[in-house]
Amino acid sequence: MVALRGKIRQNVSMERLFDLIMPEYCVICGARGRALCDACQQEIIEESSNFCLECGNFIVDNCHDCRLPYQKSYAVGFRDETIGAIAEKFKFSKKRSLAHHIVDILVSILPDFSPDVVIVPVPTIKKHVRVRGLDHTKKIAKKLAKAKKCQSLPLILRANDSVQVGANAKQRLEQAKKAFKINEKVLKKVLDDGGEVVLYDDISTTGSTIKECAKLLKKSGIKHISVAILAKNR
């Protein structure tokens, strides 16, 4: 017992020392303590309103006006809002501690999932993973699956590493059509478990990537497809 108390005191002391050496500050308001303070996180959650990723109209979970290759979609907000800044900082500024805040926000806007649901990240280009030091969509998908008590699997793979940055809408669509392929080994397991998938991406620019990934899933026999994203371009 004495040894345990000593270990706990040592861990607490190390945490305090680490906080003094490398303190965390909220990336939005600058408050000391966490990468995203409780107030800013709650504000993002309270201001979130779901909207169609195609037409932008506010929806509950599906759009009755747009013909889309998925049944339901959930979005936190737009890219020029606070959630867009959070997504960008996690993706490009190596703020790894933002991961659990992002998951908390997603959990708050998403419905309950069956344990058989599979969260599928849109795969990141290998070059970007090397440069950034992480696959941001894969990391969030795994943490989200753990929080939702379901599973995350690499059902979609990269067929090539075409870069969409700087491409216009037409170019993005053509690139997206050739950029992905199905992981056949994972597909059998997903279909055996009921074939219900939640496709996750952080930012949707034109929507072409999400749509092409959903079409690919649909052609592969996945009947129940939902989409979750953090932010979309207006």
- Given this model, what pLDDT does residue 206 score? 86
Q: What is the mean pLDDT of residues 195-204?
A: 96
Question: Which pTM was predicted?
Answer: 0.85
Can you tell me the mean pLDDT for 120-148? 93
Return the CATH number of the domain spanning residue range 2-232: 3.40.50
- The model's pLDDT over 151-179, given as tens digits with 9 standing for 90+, comes to 999 999 998 876 555 566 666 666 667 78
Who's near 128: CB < 8 A, 6+ residues apart? none
pLDDT recorded at residue 169: 62
Residue 11 binned pLDDT confidence (cut-offs 50, 70, 90): very low
10 Å CB burial of residue 95 (0-12, 13-18, 19+) is middle
Number of CB atoms found within 10 A of residue 92's CB: 12
Give the Cα separation of 77 and 57 in Å (integer): 12
Highest mean predicted confidence (pLDDT) among 123-132, 149-158, 175-184: 149-158
- Any idea which of 43-57, 126-140, 167-181, 201-215 has the lowest mean pLDDT? 167-181
The mean of the pLDDT values for the chain is 88
Q: From residue 75, how far is each of 54, 78, 88, 214 by CA, in Å?
A: 12, 8, 16, 16
More confident residue, 43 or 134: 43
Q: Is the dihedral of CA 128, 178, 145, 59 positive or negative?
A: positive
Average confidence (pLDDT) over 37-43: 96
DSSP per-residue letters across 114-132: -TT-EEEEPPPPHHHHHHH
Domain residue limits, the chain: 2-232
Q: How confident is the model at residue 17 (pLDDT cuts 50, 70, 90)?
A: low
Inform me whether the pLDDT recorded for 111 exceeds 50: yes
Q: What is the mean predicted confidence (pLDDT) over 12-21?
A: 54
d(CA 65, CA 151): 31
The answer, yes or no, to whether residue 2 has pLDDT greater than 70, is no
Rounded to whole angstroms, the Cα distance separating 225 from 102 reads 22
Residue 9 above 80 pLDDT? no
